[in-house]
């Protein structure tokens, strides 16, 4: 069973949970949880469903935690250089994640446009499915993928209202 290091920390957007591989890659990240217990439960659920064991805690000064803190304060954090685990994804899912990761701060792209850029022009619904399963939001900014008819869904805590909050914050700070 693989071992993952964990972190729990609070931000202005609620409690966050972080799982890191021993290769120093982000395996999973959640944010916006109401309390520490819910954030920890998300860690345990992920570990169990991915046949992993929670090992040691990551230090509060972990570079990723610092990036998240800067981002929620409204700083233009891109998460560039943050390494994430994508080995468990299919080739199509990796292409989608690569396209989404390139969407700039304060920008959006439709599900259909992501599908086009990922080489699957009629796969907008499949893109939505990939976004719902994104284990590393903010790093792979699925909140920046919107429906052609409006904002679309969001699977993070507080759903669409969190997506709107992130997009408004980025839009306000993008100039």
DSSP state, residue 138: T
Kindly provide the b/e burial profile for residues 63-85, where b requires at least 16 CB atoms within 10 angstroms of the residue's own CB. Answer: ebbebbbebbeeeebebeebebb
16 annotated active-site: no
Using DSSP's 3-state secondary structure scheme, residue 52 falls into strand
**Active-site annotation holder among 84, 103, 131, 142:** 142
Q: Are the C-beta atoms of residues 84 and 57 closer than 8 Å to each other?
A: no
**Active site positions, annotated:** 142
């Amino acid at each position: 069973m693989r071992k993952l290091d964990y972190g729990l920390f609070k931000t202005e957007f609620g409690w966050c949970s972080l799982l890191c591989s021993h290769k120093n890659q982000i395996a999973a990240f959640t944010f916006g949880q109401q309390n520490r217990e819910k954030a920890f439960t998300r860690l345990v659920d992920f570990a169990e469903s991915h046949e992993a064991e929670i090992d040691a805690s990551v230090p509060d000064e972990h570079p990723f935690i610092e990036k998240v803190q800067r981002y929620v304060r409204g700083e233009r954090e891109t998460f560039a250089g943050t390494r994430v685990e994508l080995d468990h994804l299919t080739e199509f899912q990796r292409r989608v994640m690569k396209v989404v990761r390139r969407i700039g701060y304060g920008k959006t792209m439709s599900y259909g446009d992501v599908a086009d850029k990922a080489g699957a022009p009629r796969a907008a619904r499949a893109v939505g499915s990939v976004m719902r399963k994104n284990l590393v939001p903010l790093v792979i900014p699925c909140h920046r993928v919107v429906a052609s008819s409006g904002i679309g869904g969001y699977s993070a805590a507080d759903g669409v209202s969190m997506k709107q909050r992130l997009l408004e914050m980025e839009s306000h700070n993008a100039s």
